[in-house]
Chains A and B, each alone.
Chain A
């Protein structure tokens, strides 16, 4: 198991290196002028050229690439923002907890609601419970999170004054962002759970359990659900990784300084060090996330654990 973990960790090095080179290359060839964004529309061409020189964006591709890779992989320095002159690593570390909290809270709500909804739908296949669950799932998938966020703000902050409309603080500040961010996840998890459960529920061992007189609740949650979890864990892991960099709309609406809004602003202002550093950082986070997912597989399914340990499945 440890050997597998170590092997996966080593595999992350070429992955992150590849991501760094691809990101750098794409940005290098993307047209756009960071100097214009920094100096504004009043700037003259002479001033723009001076700043381009200062920033080093006029240097050749290979010079910049080698310097960048050296900074990242030898000095572990993701660089300094062109516009704010702040350390990219520092900014990402400052913002990551907010994004993590929003992601974890949203996913927790998604799992807590989506999983039972999916199980209920599977158990009641083609009956009213199934249809209502899937209707709700469809609503969740179809409802844009920013739109739901605005409606929740109007209802809970403006009309009822129960919750703050924005900001970062105690638990109450996270309720509306987490709820808004969870709808898509609820729907996806519910649909995936239903599909996985339907496969498992017809298995021989489930029929056997029922025949042995095991209570229906135990059959579903004790025998069927654990075996249906693998694709659901994959889905949750993927969503977690995607949300790390994809919560920008919610971050903007709720005034949360997170990784997503940081990267989006950097993309539009051609703040290359921030974009490159942010993408590499997210690639590392995503790789770890997928590694964790693989480790959880082993915990859930002994057959996978046996494979990791190099034993023959029995």
Chain B
């Protein structure tokens, strides 16, 4: 190589190095600048109304100066992968644009997320809350023009049941007429009927059987929207149908609303990339974690919609004989008094969240407001120490294990806070941070841990309680192996249609609290930001806290 070319080479290398370092520094500085410009904590004031609750803080919708929108379409980002649009899959695998917008069910929740209202069904009759006679409309057609009859309803129920992911409490379904079916459920517990008729998508048997991939890529439903483009793993676009079968708007279910003509969901797995996509205008709207929300907080270009999630955190104690907490009520109470829920909200959710006042979400329809004023193991270290002594333990004597999922950041942080809290009263807490599938193998068996962190969401507290504590679901014990006949008696005493009274619900809540078998910690606030041009003025969230855009309200629409 000649001297000249070597010099040239060095110049290029030098310039390249300087350029690279400069560019990276520029990128890094930019990021930092955006962070120093705003502050998550203090910005709650800038974003309009905010409220410091008894524990944690919450912020409310900021929709000031939203212009009338001329947009007929919205592109939004979500982290969930979309690989299939099939109707009969497990939780969270198919987006709500499909489950609510493209497919329809016999019944659906109304705007309050509690009242069941007819969708494909015209009416229902029952004498015993176990056998239901359902009549459907006779003019239902899917987007390919197939006429939906009772045969299709029966087929759909069987298809869902055979998938193994739903209808566990449906005993049978039979056709009783061209447009009527009889459905029998195994019990009349609160939520059984709801789950049966609002989760089973009704599709045309002929169309489903003709589909080569079980509607995986080209679903055909009766809903207000039809899929116009689907790129698995990348994006999904649905467009409002102008030939929706229910022409009478007064008879349409709330979930059949279609307040936006076209919606595109982009798959953006990485949280920071969701924020980038919103900043760069690649998407109009996204729900993003608090940690990357800084550029949007207090930014007048975006409307801000926080929601206290109905999916909160709970902690459970093991009932297995190996564990010192199993037969020691005072010890369980000592632990709960030692847990600082405020600190969990601060650490796990950047301070945005609300504590829970019972084992389950405060948004549940049978939640009782008076519970907010009770002493629900409010943080008290002195009381915790006294109870620990009463329980027969001295500081330093106890080593406990808590089972968690390492990949869920908020759970891990909550466990770390509890670890610190318990060390203050002399209990050594070891965190078993497993990955999700492994956690799933152990969570329903108390012999593998002393404490368990989990979440549960339902629109009724009794349904949540039954899902986790009902003995019939876990071979005669609760999900953490607690064997307490009185607990089961009280649960059965409030679980069914005929005994689901405030008094009975309160009796179970009080007993569970007193026994301290399981405890509701807190629920986070989820943040959704929408570009002002979208014109969103009122969001709608479904019963598990997911924003469903066709039912949201937009200025000028």
Residues of A bordering B, CB below 8 Å:
31-48, 50-51, 53-55, 83-87, 90-91, 94-95, 120, 123-124, 127-129, 132-133, 135-136, 150-155, 157-159, 161, 164-168, 216, 220, 252-255, 257, 261-262, 265, 268-270
Contacts and interface: CB of A to CB of B under 8 A. Distances in A.
A129 B9 contact: yes
A36 B403 CA distance: 15
B436 A268 contact: yes
B436 A47 contact: no
A42 B458 contact: yes
Given A38-B91, A46-B168, A50-B168, A150 B474 contact: no
Contact of B438 (A31, A38, A135): A31
B436 A45 contact: no
Contact of A123 (B1, B213, B441): B1
A33 B473 contact: no
A123 B441 CA distance: 59
A40 B90 contact: yes
B386 interface: no
Contacts of A39: 90-91, 165
Contact of B9 (A120, A253, A257): A120
Contacts of B163: 54, 85
Contact of B6 (A36, A90, A129, A151): A129
30 contacts: A31-B438, A37-B437, A39-B165, A40-B92, A44-B470, A45-B479, A46-B474, A47-B168, A50-B164, A51-B164, A51-B165, A84-B84, A84-B86, A84-B89, A132-B13, A132-B14, A153-B276, A154-B31, A155-B23, A155-B26, A155-B27, A158-B279, A166-B282, A253-B269, A253-B273, A255-B268, A257-B81, A257-B267, A265-B81, A268-B407
A36 B440 contact: yes
Given A39-B90, A87-B213, A132-B17, A167 B31 contact: no
Nearest to B86: A85
A283 B458 CA distance: 44
Given A165-B280, A166-B273, A257-B267, 16 more contacts: A32-B438, A33-B441, A36-B436, A42-B91, A42-B464, A46-B473, A50-B164, A50-B168, A84-B83, A85-B86, A86-B213, A124-B6, A164-B280, A166-B276, A168-B234, A257-B234
B130 interface: no
Contacts of B89: 38, 83-85
A38 B165 contact: yes
A41 B437 CA distance: 11
Contacts of A48: 440, 444
Contact of A84 (B13, B27, B93, B231): B93
Interface size class of B (residues with CB under 8 A): 35 or more
Contacts of B282: 164-167
A155 B267 CA distance: 22
Majority secondary structure of chain A interface residues (helix, strand, loop or mixed): helix
A46 B187 CA distance: 15
A42 B443 CA distance: 12
A178 to B, nearest CB: 16
B556 interface: no
A252 to B, nearest CB: 5
Contacts of A95: 233
B473 A255 contact: no
A40 B456 CA distance: 9
A255 B267 contact: yes
